Amino acid sequence: MKIARTLIASITAGLLATSAFALTQPEYKAAKDTIEADYKASKEKCNALTDNAKDICVKEAKGHEDVAKAELEAQYKPSTKAAYKARVARADADYAIAKEKCDDLSGNAKDVCVKDAKAAHVAAKENAKVAQAQAKPADTPAAKGAAVAEARKDASAEKNEANYKAAKERCDTMQGDVKSKCVDDAKRMYGQ
């Protein structure tokens, strides 16, 4: 299984580096079969675990499969859209795993953990949007520059909103003036 992952990683790295060379149908089918077999083996290993450790293991196995499939699609049919979907698949997988890890916590610590996971998820998805804007062809360099600038502006606003919510959640353990100052600092830091 480790060899299969190494093989997939090597193929992925090589093909992403030279995306002009798409996978052939037999290569695609073989890689897809390997991904599915790897997922089944990883999920089977999770059965030895219990409680949240098992849940985390299952999320990791599923996330790895989803990311590998999305990256495989990006190799098989290279496009800006496929590359974006691969980035989003990684963001979604990382978020699902991080959120599952938060289940080991309780109270405000869990709430903060979930908000931090969400902020990281938003950041990764927004970065994917910016990368997509950068990769899209445009009629003129000025049009491309404007599209990328707009994507960055939107991404910054979304990231700041998510980070503000996480920072504000940290303030919930405080009382009175200390809490007010904490919230004000978070607003100032993230432009809210």
61, 79, 97 — which closes off a domain?
79
For the chain, how are helix, strand and coil distributed in percent, rounded to 5?
85, 0, 15
pLDDT at position 141, please?
Answer: 87
pLDDT at position 1, please?
Answer: 47
Shared domain check, 69 and 121: no
Query: Which domain, by its residues, includes 120?
Result: 105-192
Q: Is residue 90 part of a domain?
A: no
Shared domain check, 123 and 74: no
Question: What is the 8-class DSSP label of residue 77?
Answer: S
pLDDT at position 14, please?
Answer: 47
Q: Is residue 94 part of a domain?
A: no
Shared domain check, 112 and 29: no
- Whole-number Å distance between alpha carbons of 137 and 86: 19
Q: Is residue 58 part of a domain?
A: yes
pLDDT band (50, 70, 90) for residue 166: very high
To 10 degrees, the CA torsion angle through 68, 70, 76, 81? -150
CB 82 within 8 A of CB 74: yes
Average pLDDT over residues 90-116: 97
Q: Does the pLDDT at position 179 exceed 80?
A: yes
Shared domain check, 71 and 115: no
Shared domain check, 171 and 120: yes
Residue range 7-54, pLDDT digits in tens: 444 445 444 444 456 789 999 999 999 999 999 999 999 999 999 999
Shared domain check, 133 and 58: no
Predicted model pTM: 0.81
Q: Is residue 147 part of a domain?
A: yes
CB 65 within 8 A of CB 39: yes
Shared domain check, 110 and 72: no
Shared domain check, 52 and 112: no
Shared domain check, 74 and 152: no
Q: Is residue 98 part of a domain?
A: no
Average pLDDT over residues 124-145: 91
Q: Is residue 52 part of a domain?
A: yes
Q: Is residue 7 part of a domain?
A: yes
Contacts of 48 (CB under 8 A, 6+ apart): none
Q: Is residue 174 part of a domain?
A: yes
pLDDT at position 156, please?
Answer: 94
What the block records as the tokens of 35 is 């991904």
Residue range 64-91, pLDDT digits in tens: 999 999 999 999 999 999 999 999 999 9
pLDDT at position 140, please?
Answer: 87
Query: What total number of domains does the chain contain?
Result: 2
Shared domain check, 62 and 116: no
Q: Does the pLDDT at position 170 exceed 60?
A: yes
What the block records as the tokens of 109 is 């610590």
Question: What's the mean per-residue pLDDT of the chain?
Answer: 89
43, 61, 79 — which closes off a domain?
79
79, 113, 142 — which closes off a domain?
79
Shared domain check, 120 and 154: yes
